[in-house]
Amino acid sequence: MARLKKAFAWLVGNFSNTLSSCWMPVIVIQDFFYTDDPDGWDYGIRIIMLVVFAIGLVSDIITYRRKIAKKNI
């Protein structure tokens, strides 16, 4: 249980942007499969949401790597 708490604290501490927005791609993708006839707006919103999520994930990874590099110097 202690290892789980430590892992969760590390995840929340380093990837808070990604965790706070991880619901967006899930909702967007699951809604896509239940829409009978998606139009241009549906595709556009889904693409934009996934790109925003990817940008947030990349920024979290870059921030984490900088923190680790700063710690090792």
Beta carbons within 8 Å of 19's beta carbon, 6+ residues apart: 11, 12
Q: Within 13 A of 14's CA, how many CA atoms are on the CB side?
A: 15
Q: What whole-number percentage of the chain has pLDDT above 70?
A: 92
pLDDT single digits (tens) 6-24: 888 888 888 887 877 777 7
Single-letter residue type at 19: L
Model confidence, pTM:
0.71
Domain boundaries, the chain: 2-72
pLDDT at 62 exceeding the cut of 90: yes
Long-range contacts of 21-24 (CB under 8 A, 24+ apart): 21/52, 21/53, 21/56, 22/53, 24/49, 24/52, 24/53
pLDDT in the model for residue 45: 81
CA distance 10 to 12: 6
